[in-house]
Structure 1
Amino acid sequence: MVKRRQFMSGLAALGGSYLLSACGGGSEDGSNGTAVSAASKATAHASAASASGTTIPPAASITDSSGAVWTLSGGVLYQNGAVAGVNYNVVLALWINGSIYHENASGQFYQWNGSAWGSCIDPRLGTVSADGTTLPSAPYILDKSGAKWTLVNGVVYKNGTVVGVNYNVSLVLWYGGKIYHCNTSGHFYANAEVSSQWLACTDPRIAVAPAAGSFFGINGHYDYTYTPAQLVTTLKAMGCTSYRVGCTSDPTQINAVAKLAQAFQSAGIKLLVLINQGLYDSTGKLFSGESTAYSAGYSAGSAVAGALMGYGVTMYECGNELTRDGAIILDSTNAGTKALDFNNANWPVLRGVMRGMIDGVKSVQSSAKCGINFCVNDVGASDALWEGTQPDGSSGYPAVRWDITTWHNYEVYGDIFNIGTDGAGPGFDLPTYCKARYGVPFIISEWNTGPEQTEAYRANYITTQLGQFYPARKTHNIQSVMYYVLDSGNETFGIMMNGSPINPSYSAFTSFTSANADN
């Protein structure tokens, strides 16, 4: 399991530039005949900086605020006669708001930081486009990374370059931090993290509300000392309408969950059962391949569903944070936004286990809803599984299709409605993307702040997060948000301990649920 975890103002321009040259040795100043000192001979004086907005061409040169002179020759930009960092195919140099920029032949802009160039947007264009901007009617879209998107003759361009395979495009949409397009046939496509790739989706602007009655949820464990009746009473007092609990195919675990299911069925509390099947065999070795992994997943799925279907269980989460297993994620500090973040050789094992669990459940309970679990910003993984592709981009493999998208969102991962790389930007609205891409309900099956936080901090976090989650339930297809956890045996994550509330976090939770209907 993954660890729960800044211009200078534009200077007033005087225009032009001049250079006072030191006189030669023994020369005298023509005005007073005073000999020029050696220090004066070695000093070059520059005028004020060029006017903000000056460009080459048409200007022959630019003088920056430090007195450095910039020139452009043969597509290369020079600072005081020396090549400025790594640059080539330069068509424009720009001095604006105290900074030097250049544009290359592909339309990409770069900003000089004093020693190197960093990609950026044309600073004259403005800021990131407003959410919901479309082409047409806007002339262009600026995304959060500084890229400029245009639509010309039915083709989408990014910084002047065609983006992947696209044609007959009638609309380009900037929404929720992502670029989408719609063709003349009415089909929508989302621009994936690998920007040349377009993936089929629906219009992300369409609000979707899942079935009501299970929004406020919480996690628990099959081996609690609480009786099923005590849990029912506790959950009702908290305003919880759903509960997540995990088990393997071990009969002891299944029997314990079955007793919970029986009590919850009569109490009207929905149960999301996590089928806790991993990627390793009984000896601790990674499954040898997709077929072996599939068989293990199938066996677990059918065993768990077969035992619980009679008690009204209809939702199963197939695997817990499997994309974060050391055999799957190449670097656990990566957010998972690219398929290349994952192990290509071991990917079939992951795919096999997931497919097996889903098929196993449906072999005994065809009407059951099966979810697949992701963490952090694992859209690289979710898209690859959904499309039947490998991390290396190869395709034609079995696709994993689920009925519920489930995600873990701890504070360290970032705001799920604006989530980027390990909590940093540029971010995008993950539930909106998933709603458009997969077309199934979304469950945040684990959420909390870190275990090191104080209870006062945790209480404020609970109130803030629920206040963000609650209105999104009607627009983002969010079916449940399941706090982690009811009782952790200590004060690291739990909201209760040994049957007693841990305050003020418990009160923050119950105050919100009592004031906001689960409808």
Structure 2
Amino acid sequence: MIKRRQFLGCLTAFGGSYLLTACGGGSSDGIGSAAGAVANNATNGAAVGNAVANAASPASANGTSLPSASSIIDNSGNVWTLSGGVVYRNGAVAGVNYNVALALWYSGTVYHENTAGQFYSWNGSGWSACLDPRTAGISADGATIPSGSVLIDKLGRKWTVSGGVIYRDGAVVGINYNVALLLWYGGIMWHKNTSGQFYAWTDAAGWLASTDPCTPVAATAGSFFGVNGHWDFTYTPAQIVSILTSMGCKSYRVGCTNDPQQLAAVTKLAAAFQAAGMTLLVLINQGMTDANGNVLSSESVAYNQGYMVASAVANALKQYGVTMYECGNELTRQNSTIMNFTEAGTKAVDFNNANWPSMRGVMRGMIDGVKSVQPNAKCGINFCVADVGASDALWEGMQPDGSRGYPQVRWDITTWHNYEVYGDIFNIGTDGAGPGIDLPTYCKARYGVPFMITEWNTGPEQTQAYRANYITTQLGNFYNARKTHNIQSVMYYVLDSGNSTYGIMINGAPLSAPYAAFTGFTASHADV
């Protein structure tokens, strides 16, 4: 869990700016670029200071833009300027912004557009992604061609169909033909061809095969409410079963390797869960580096390592009714795999091309190792933030550089980690700040397997009252989607963190507010 905590800490250190990392077009060094722009425009502050001093009280005319105007005056008399691709407010950089091509005053709000065409609105303290306010609004969710003639996405792009071909802003978009239906659903554009095959549009990889995203799918009932634990907890297996029962949980996620001490502890836990009729999801916690921290030297070496560890774990646990395994923990979010931790992971190029084969190899090895012992076991691969660039590349046998023809990674369960700082999983930002997508809907249609949220929580800095409210809200969101999005389980992180940062209890004593919120929800919402 160290990498996750490091990532969360990194995001917290940015003071919430993570959700604005793409304000300048998604550059991985955007904050540095903004700082550079400030240094290169030392005279800008003095110029704006004069403008402030000379500013008249009336606001600028509606529709005033930079360029061609030299400044914008808002309703409060603040003076806005644009210099070196950076927006200034009264001589100071306005929030996190860079690579700005246009600043706009429209209907009482200041907007800017970056060089990638994304608009942002000023909310008083920062920038929020939005559409061009001068254009028509987004199409209604579920809108189609036919019956309409134009669909508008969250970036304001206009989609049309002519002669069975899809056009976006007048240009053919990707390779498509024989199109019978164009659908806007869950923040994603989909099409169905005359043979009945659906495809999802991704800006990173083009059209990818899917099923109908509108079809509701209910996951198997009975294991929806869950929680995370660790193999080295001081609680006995019987105590854990008792605690989970009192919490209204029937599923539990715990990690181990083939280390004898770890495996012995998890084996005892599995026996207790089997006797209690409860579900144990075992995380096979094999990484993609050796004992010295070096990335495993090749895909085949990584595959063999993953196979050896996973087959040993499955062989020890199969007699105790364990049938679900998560193969690796946050492997797409290691220093060796993600190029920039502030990227949302929606593009394959967000990931390290050189180390990709080792990650793919260890994932494949773990899946095959489990299946060699338990052919009918279910294996999951987990992702974080909005890592559909990674999940699609693995599923399709692609490298981050776009090359194809490599071994495909095919899992039985899609598992995801969704901490508050990552965003709403049902509307998660596709570039960390930009227009959101309904991630479980996308995964349901793309991969056709159950979906699990195997870690979720708010940040470690939050108060217990805040955490309690977050638990109630999130469980409500998850629960309402369980019958349509194929969400099989949501597992709170964590039972006991030894303090109040993540855990719901300490040494067996409940943290009153979050524990009451969790148990109150499970008591009033049946897992059926």
TM-score range, shorter chain: 0.7 to 0.9
Which residue of structure 2 aligns with residue 210 of structure 1?
219
Counterpart residue type for residue 275 of structure 1: I
The answer as to whether partners of 1:121 and 1:147 remain within 8 angstroms in 2 is no
Alpha carbons of 1:96 and 1:313: their partners in 2 closer, same or farther (altered >3 Å)?
closer
Name the residue aligned to 2:169.
Answer: 159
* 1:499 aligns to 2:508 (yes or no): yes
Over alpha carbons, which structure has the higher Rg?
A: 1
| Pairing of 1:86-165 with structure 2 (within 5 A) | 125-165=135-175
1:390 to 376, 399, 418: 399
Question: Do the aligned partners of 1:412 and 1:423 also contact (CA within 8 Å) in 2?
Answer: no
Match for residue 295 of structure 1 among 280, 285, 304: 304
Structure 2 residue 263 is matched with structure 1 residue 222 = no
The secondary structure found in structure 1 opposite 2:232 is coil
Contact 2:281 2:325 in 1 (8 A): yes
Return the match for 1:317 from 310, 326, 333. 326
Offset at residue 146 of structure 1 (A) = 1.6
Please give the alpha-carbon distance, in whole angstroms, between the structure 2 residues aligned to 1:50 and 1:463: 46
> What is the CA–CA distance in structure 2 between the aligned matches of 1:294 and 1:434, rounded to whole Å?
25
Amino acid at match of 2:522: T
Contact 2:342 2:432 in 1 (8 A): no
Deviating more after overlay: 498-507 vs 276-285: 276-285
Tell me by how many angstroms 1:283 deviates.
2.9
Q: What residue number does 1:38 align with?
A: none
3-state SS of paired residue (2:175): coil
- The equivalent position to 1:244 in structure 2, one of 240, 253, 264, is 253
SS at match of 1:504: helix
Give the structure 2 partner of residue 55 of structure 1: none
Gaps of 5+ in 2: 13-59, 73-98, 122-128
User: Equivalent of 1:378, from 366, 383, 387?
Assistant: 387
Alpha-carbon distance in structure 2 between the residues aligned to 1:99 and 1:454: 33
Q: Which one of 191, 215, 233 corresponds to residue 201 of structure 2?
A: 191
Report the CA distance shift for 1:112/1:358 in structure 2 as closer, same or farther (over 3 A): closer
Q: Quick check: 1:450 aligned with 2:448? A: no
Q: CA deviation at 1:511?
A: 0.2
Q: Secondary structure at the match of 2:502?
A: coil
Tell me if structure 2 keeps the 8 A contact 1:371–1:406. Answer: yes
Q: Show the counterpart of 1:484.
A: 493
Please say if residues 155 and 168 of structure 1, whose CA atoms lie closer than 8 Å, have aligned partners that are also in contact: yes
2:33 corresponds in structure 1 to: none
Aligned to 1:467: 476
Question: Residue in 1 aligned with 2:369?
Answer: 360
Q: Is the 8 A contact 1:99 1:111 kept in 2?
A: no
Equivalent residues of 1:417, 1:431 under 8 A apart: yes
Residue 410 of structure 1: how far off its partner (Å): 0.2
State whether residues 100 and 111 of structure 1, in contact with CA within 8 Å, keep that contact through their aligned partners in structure 2. no
What is the root-mean-square deviation of aligned Cα atoms in Å?
3.0
**How many residue pairs are counted as aligned between the two chains?**
435
Amino acid at match of 2:151: I
| Residues in 2 aligned to 1:110 and 1:318: alpha-carbon distance in whole angstroms | 37
Residue identity matched to 1:270: T
2:286 partner SS: coil
User: TM-score, normalised to structure 2's length?
Assistant: 0.77
Contact 1:375 / 1:407 at 8 angstroms: preserved in 2? yes
Distance 1:141 1:349 in 2: 41
1:36-64: per-residue Cα shift (whole Å, max 9, x none)?
xxxxxxxxxxxxx9999xxxxxxxxx999
How do 1:402-421 and structure 2 match up within 5 A? 402-421=411-430
Given that 1:50 and 1:63 are in contact with CA atoms closer than 8 Å, whether structure 2 keeps it comes out as: no
Is the partner of 1:508 in helix, strand or coil? helix
Q: Report if aligned partners of 1:131, 1:174 keep a CA contact under 8 Å in 2.
A: yes
Give the corresponding residue for 1:265: 274
1:200 paired with 2:206, answer no
Q: Find the residue that maps to 1:145 and give its secondary structure.
A: coil
Aligned equivalents of 2:481, 2:519: Cα separation in 1: 19
Whether contact under 8 Å (1:442, 1:477) holds in the other structure is yes
Aligned 8 A contact 1:412 1:422 in 2 = no
Question: Hey, what's the Cα distance between the residues in 2 that align with 1:458 and 1:86?
Answer: 37
Write the distance in 1 (CA, Å) between the matches of 2:403 and 2:69: 50
Instruction: State the Cα distance separating 1:138 from its structure 2 match.
Output: 1.4
CA change 1:388–1:141 in 2 (3 A) is: same
1:97 CA displacement: 6.4
Give the match for residue 275 of structure 1: 284
Displacement of 1:122 in angstroms is: 7.3
**Amino acid aligned to 2:313:** V
C-alpha displacement at 1:192, in angstroms?
Answer: 1.2
Write the deviation string for residues 282-310 of structure 1: whole angstroms up to 9, x where unpaired: 23221001000000000011011010010
More helix by share: 2
Q: Rate the CA distance shift 1:214–1:124 in 2: closer, same or farther, 3 A.
A: same
Quote how far apart the aligned CAs of 1:440 are: 0.2
Question: Which amino acid is 2:166 matched to?
Answer: V
Displacement of 1:111 in angstroms is: 8.6
Moved over 6 A (4+): 49-52, 62-66, 94-101, 108-113, 119-122
> What letter matches 1:283 in structure 2?
N
Contact 1:293 1:353 (8 Å CA) reproduced = yes
Q: CA deviation at 1:112?
A: 13
TM-aligned CA deviation for residue 135 of structure 1? 0.8
Aligned counterpart, 2:78: none
Describe the SS at the equivalent of 2:358: helix
Secondary structure of 2:434 counterpart = strand
Alignment of 1:233 onto 2:231: no
CA distance in 1, matches of 2:496, 2:479: 23
Give 5+ residue unaligned stretches, structure 1. Answer: 6-48, 53-61, 67-84, 88-93, 102-107, 114-118
With over 3 angstroms needed to count, the CA separation of the structure-2 counterparts of 1:63 and 1:453, relative to structure 1, is closer
Give the secondary structure class of the aligned counterpart of 2:398.
Answer: coil
CA distance in 2, matches of 1:109, 1:376: 23
Question: Does structure 1 residue 172 correspond to structure 2 residue 178?
Answer: no
Following the alignment from structure 1 to structure 2, what is the Cα–Cα distance between the partners of residues 171 and 290? 40
Distance between the aligned counterparts of 1:238 and 1:86, measured in 2? Answer: 50
**SS at 1:416 equivalent:** coil
Q: Distance in 1 between matches of 2:526 and 2:212?
A: 29
What per-residue deviation string (whole Å, max 9, x for no partner) do you get for residues 73-117 of structure 1? xxxxxxxxxxxx999xxxxxx99969999xxxxxx989999xxxx
SS at 1:382 equivalent: helix
Equivalent AA in structure 1 for residue 173 of structure 2: V
TM-score, normalised to structure 1, is 0.79
Aligned to 2:191: 181
Q: Indicate the SS of the match to 2:395.
A: helix
